[in-house]
Amino acid sequence: MNVLNATGGSSGDVSLDESIFGAKVSVPLMHQAVVSQLAAARAGTHKTKTRAEVRGGGAKPWRQKGTGRARHGSTREPQWKGGGTVFGPVPRDYSMSMPKKMKASALRSALSQRNKENKVLVVEPPVGEKPRTKDALAALQAWGVSDKVLLVLTNDERNVAFSFRNLPDVHIIGDTQLNVYDVMNADTLIFSRSALDALQTRLSKGGAA
């Protein structure tokens, strides 16, 4: 694959590992990975109060017999205004376990799908003495990218991340945090050359994500 420089020209070639970018695409596996990730992101802090937890209702609203009305022991029963909630949500953990090898396989599927769609670019991002959003925008235009972008960088490319972080359609992620949801949520996947090398080293030969 051709590596693009900041002006859109060629900066050499790089080979994509077929075991990562040419793997068999498993839609059910990718779906499971996305569901697992979104479930783990839920706070699970929802809570409603039962009749034992709402305030008031200590006194019996009227005597048991003789009024002609239904018998009640508390105004905090569920059918009363201000009463407790029956079977309401309580705090819980929504996370779902998924083996590391399955996560890695799902990521390979997602990367392979994007590669088949010709939505993967490898670039030499602009690196200046100071981060400049103007340079990042010019680079995207030179690469012919105008849609939602996932930019994969290494931890050492901080100035590059600072240059791109203010662009609304660019989501920046480290090569070690790459996941199925972000890959599938982006229209174009852009790797820096160093991030691609690090990712392929980690995922090659059946390694975990």
Q: What is the pLDDT of residues 29-45, one digit of tens each?
A: 999 999 999 999 999 99
Is 159 found in the same domain as 56?
Answer: no
User: Considering the chain, what is the average pLDDT of its residues?
Assistant: 94
pLDDT above 80: residue 205: no
Residues 81 and 105 in one domain: no
**Does residue 13 share a domain with residue 105?**
yes
Domain residues for the domain of 30 are: 2-43+97-206
CB atoms within 10 A of CB 64: 9
110 plus 186 within the same structural domain: yes
pLDDT beyond 90 at 144: yes
Shared domain check, 125 and 57 = no
Co-location of 32 and 115 in the same domain: yes
CATH code for the domain of 150: 3.40.1370.10
**Same domain membership, residue 190 and residue 132:** yes
122 and 182 both lie in a single domain: yes
Q: What is the DSSP string of 4-63?
A: E-TTS-EEEE-PPPHHHHSSPP-HHHHHHHHHHHHHHT---------TTTSS---S-SS-
- For the cut 90, the answer to whether the pLDDT of residue 129 exceeds it is no
Residues 8, 110, single domain; the answer is yes
Distance CA 154, CA 131 (A): 16
Pairing of strands 2-4, 10-13: antiparallel
82: confidence class by pLDDT, cuts 50, 70, 90: very high
Q: Is the pLDDT of residue 207 over 60?
A: no
Both 139 and 200 in one domain: the answer is yes
Domain count of the fold of the chain: 2
Same domain membership, residue 118 and residue 77: no
DSSP state of 145: -
Q: Are 178 and 199 in contact (CB under 8 A)?
A: yes
Place of tokens 């929802």: 46
